[in-house]
Amino acid sequence: MDYKKTLNLPQTRFAMKANLPTKEPQQLKAWEESGLYAKIREESKGREQFILHDGPPYANGNLHIGHALNKILKDIIIRSKQMDGFDVPYVPGWDCHGLPIEHNVDKKLGSKKKEMSKADIRRKCREYAGNFVNIQREEFKRFGVMGEWEDPYLTMNYPFEARIAKECGEFAANGDMFIGKKPIYWCCSCQTALAEAEIEYADHTSPSIFVKFPLKGDAAEIDASLAGKNVSFVIWTTTPWTIPANLAVCLNGEFTYAFVETDGEVMVVAKDLLEGLMTSFGKESYTVLFETEGATLENKVCRHPFIDRDSLIILGDHVTLEAGTGCVHTAPGHGADDYITGLKYGLEPYSPVGNNGCYTEEVGEEFEGKFIFKANAELIEKMDACGALVKHNEMSHSYPHCWRCKKPVIFRATPQWFLSMDNTGLREKALAEIDKVEWIPSWGRERIHGMIANRPDWCLSRQRSWGVPIPVFYCEKCGEVHADQASVDKIYDLFKEHGADIWFEKEAADLLPEGTVCGKCGHGTFTKDTNILDVWFDSGVTHSAVLNDRDGLKRPADLYLEGSDQHRGWFHSSLLTSVGKTGKAPYKAVLTHGFVVDAKGHKMSKSVGNVVAPKEVINKYGAEVLRLWVASTDYRDDVRISDNILKQLSDAYRKIRNSCRYMLGNLDGFNPDTDRVAYEDLRDIDRFTLARLATLIERVTKAYETYEFHTIYHSLNNFCTVDLSSFYFDIVRDALYVEGTDSAVRRGIQTVLFDLVDAIVRMMAPILCFTAEEIWGHMPDFEGKKESVHLMAGAEPKAHWKNDAIIERWERLVTLRDEMNKALEKARSEKLIGQNLDAAITVTAKGETLAFLESFSSELKQVLIVSDLTLAEGDAPEGAFVSDEVEGLAVQVASASGDKCERCWTWSPSVGEDGERPTLCSRCRGILDRTA
C-alpha cells in the first residue's frame, strides 16, 4: 500500500513562484473592474476621517525612484489607517504650471514661438502637462497606490486656477502684497525671477579678486599719522561683474581695522585678518600706522575704482572674519545683505543689468550690452590698469544654479510683487503655528522655524507665460494698483468657467466689474498686470483648493508627507498661505523622508550611471519588492538602493510568501466556522504561538501608528522565519501530516494556522498589497470574509491570547532546545545521524532544570523532533555534549533503535510487530485504524 496517500500533505493553488511582474497588472485590472476603491470609500462612510494630503509632483518627465519612495510611503499609511478604522480618502494631484514645462515647450516650438500669442503658448503647455499627468498616473498606479486616480487635482484645472487667483487677489486686496524693487534670484537664461526653492547648488569656478577703494578727502581727519597718505579700503569679491553696481563698502562696527602702510600706500583691512592677507598679497614689509573700531569710520566716503561715483562707508552685522578682508563690497541691487543694509543708508537697489544678463546703458558704452559673466575678465583688466587690483586668482565654490536650465543665477533687483512677512505679522503668526504642529522627525521643527524666522519677503511674481496671472490692475491715468474684493470675485467666476487663459485673451475692461473706477483718481480705464505667480504659490494653496473646496475632505490635514527638501518648499509655502488667510497651519503633522542614494550613499546621477529606475525594478522584481524596499528602510534618513539590496529583499519576500503558502496548504479542508478548536482545548505550544502572535500584532499596530515601517518589515520577517518556519512549523509538521484529518490535535494546529495567516495577511496588506490579496483569495471562507482583504479591518489579538506566563515558560524551553540542538548538529556533522528523527537522545540535568524539562516530558520528543528521548539526573555521561550556556545540561546522542516507519519516518521498535502492516509503527497503525 502507498501510505503516502494516507498523509495530510499540504494542498493549495497558491503558487510557490510569485511571478510578480506578470501577476500584479492582472490584480490591478481586477481591482479596477470590481471598483474596489469606490467600495472602500462606501464602506468607510461615517467613520472618523484621516486626511493625508498629497503634495503634487511636477507634471514633467517619467517618475524616478524618489517618487516611488514618496508615493509608496503615502499608500502604506493610507491603507494602514483605512484598516485601522478610519475613513481615508486620498486625492492625488499634480503641479502643472511653471518654468520647467514652459522650458520644454519652448524647445519643442523653437522659432515658431515668436509667431505665437501667449494664449497659444499656454495651450501647448496645457497639452504637455496633461500628457505627463496621464503617463505618471499609470506609473503611480503600477506601484499599487490606490486613490482618486480618475479625479485627481490638477493646478491647471479651471476651478483650481480660479482658487489660486482668488487667494492671491485677496492678499493683494488686503494689503499683504506690495510692489518692491529688491534683489532676488534671477535666471538670465530663462529670464525670470526664481524662488529659493527653485535654486540648486553646484560647484562653480569664479574669479576671486581683492580691489582697492580709495578714500576721498583728507585722511588726516581720521588720524594724523595718515596725513598726506593714499588710503584705500580693500574689498574681496567673487563677482567682479557687480563692481559697476557698487555703492558702498561695509564694515563691522565692532571689529578693529588696521591702516597698514606698504609699498608707499595705506590699505585698510580688519586687524584679525591682517597677517594672512599681507602674506597672501606678497607683502613682506608693512607698518601698522593706526587702528580704530569700524564704527568710527561710518559715513566716510571712497571713490569707485573706475566710475566717477562715490562709495559710502557703512556698517553691517553681516560682515564677518571668516573670509575676505572685513571690508565688504556692497551693491544693494545685487545682494540680499547689501540691499537690507543699504536701506538703512538710503542707498537705492541699483542694478544696471537687463533681463538677459547683459549690462544696460547705465554702465556706459564700454560695457553696455555685454553679458555679465563674460565681462568679468575685461573688468578685472580695467581695475588692474587703473591700479585698483590687489590680487586675482580663481576659486571653486558652491554657487546657486537654476533648477531647470542648470545655469548659474544672479541676484538682481527688479520691480516684483512680494508677500510681506511682517507688515501684517505673517512671520510671527507662522512661527507660532509651527509650535502647534507635530514634526516627524522632531528636528523638522527647528529647520522650518529657522527658515521662516530668517526668510525675506516672498517674491511672488514671475516673468513667464505658463502660470496663473497675478490678478491686479493698474489705473491707466495715475498708475495706482487696483485690487478689491469685487474684482477678485469677478476674476474667480471668470477663471472657474474659462480658466486663467481668459486673462491673456481679454482686455482689462472685460475682466473687471462694470463701473469699476480708480480709488485714487476716479479714472475708469485700467491695464492688467503682466506677471504670473510663483508655482510654489499654486501648490501652496492646495489646502484651500483641495481640502476646503472638495466635498468629503477637511482642513487642516492630518498629515503632510514629503522629502526633507520641502521644509523650504511645499511645507513652507503651504504654511504661509494658510496662516496668511486663516491664521492656522494647514496640517496637524508633517513627516519627512530622506533622498534615495546608491549603495555607497552617493547621490544618483545619470552621468555616474548609478540611477535606479522604478520601472526597471518592477519589470525585474515586481512592485511588491519595491514596496518592501520602502518599508524595510528607516526612510527618515537617506535611503540606499542597489540591485544587491533588492535581491536580498526579494529573498526576504520569498520567505514570507513561503511561510504563508505553507499555512494555506495545511488549511486545506479546514472550515474556520465549524472546525475551530476552543482556545482552552489547544496544546501549550499552540497557545504559546498565539501569545507570540499577539505580541507581534501589538508591535506592528504601534509601528503603523508611529510610521515605523521598518519595524514592521523586520518583525514580520523574523516572525515568519524564526518563530514559524524554524520553530512552530518544524514541530507541528508531524502532527499535521500524520494525525487523522479530523483529530483534535490537527484541528487545533489548523485553528492556530488560520489565526496566524489571517493576522499576518492583514498586517502585511498595507505594505505587500498584491501578495496579501493573493493570499486572501486562497484562504478558507469564513463568516464575515469580504471579497478583498483591503475591505477588512486590521489584525487584532484576542484578549485571551496574551499570556505572559506561557511566553516565559516556553521561551525558556526554546533556549534549552537551542542548546540541545547543538548536540544534534554535532552528531550530524560526525555522520552519527542523518536527520533528527534518526536520533535517540538522553538529556542529563540537575535540580530545577531537570524538573522544568520533566514538566514538558510529553512534548519534548516533538519539540526536538527526535524518535526517542530520555531524561536523566546526574553528571554528564562520557562523550556527551555539555552545554556552555546552561549549567549541568548534557546531551548524549545515539542512533534510534528499531526500524524506520514508512509513514511517519520515526524510528520505533514497534515497526514490524504487525504482520499485515510490517512497515508501520504502532502509532501510525492506530491512526489508520481510527480513520478507517
DSSP-derived secondary structure letter, 874:
S
d(CA 310, CA 683): 96
Q: What is the DSSP letter of 189?
A: T
**For the stretch 910-921, what's the b/e string if a residue is b when 16 or more beta carbons lie within 10 angstroms of its beta carbon?**
bbeeeeebeebb
How far is it, in rounded angstroms, from Cα 730 to Cα 835?
A: 13
Is 168 labelled a binding residue? no
Contact 661, 771 (CB under 8 A): no
d(CA 414, CA 188): 13
For 381, phi and psi rounded to 5 degrees?
Answer: -60, -40
660 belongs to an annotated ligand binding site: no
Would you report the helix, strand and coil content of the chain in percent, each value rounded to 5? 45, 20, 35
Sorted by sequence, the CB contacts under 8 Å of residue 179 that are 6+ apart come out as 415, 416, 417, 418, 481
- d(Cα 459, Cα 734) in Å, to the nearest integer? 74
Dist CA 357 CA 351 (whole Å): 11
Coil vs helix vs strand at 216: coil
Flag whether 327 is marked binding: no
The β-bridge partners of 262 are 265
358 is in an annotated binding site: no
Largest CA distance in the chain: 131
Q: How far apart are CA 14 and CA 20, in angstroms?
A: 13
Cell numbers for 778:
486562497
Question: Which residues is 391 bridged to in the sheet?
Answer: 210
- Residue 830 marked as a ligand binder: no
| 656: its cell numbers | 514570507
In the structure grid, which three cell numbers stand for residue 304, read together? 569707485
* Cα–Cα dist 159/542, whole Å: 12
Q: In what order do the strands lie in the sheet with 248-251?
A: 301-303, 310-315, 248-251, 328-330
Task: Please give the radius of gyration of the chain, using alpha carbons only, rounded to the nearest integer.
Answer: 38
> Is 402 among the annotated ligand-binding positions?
no
412 three-state secondary structure: strand
Going by the annotation, the residues of the binding site for ATP are: 606
Going by the annotation, the residues of the binding site are: 562, 606, 901, 904, 921, 924
Going by the annotation, the residues of the binding site for Zn(2+) are: 901, 904, 921, 924
Going by the annotation, the residues of the binding site for L-isoleucyl-5'-AMP are: 562
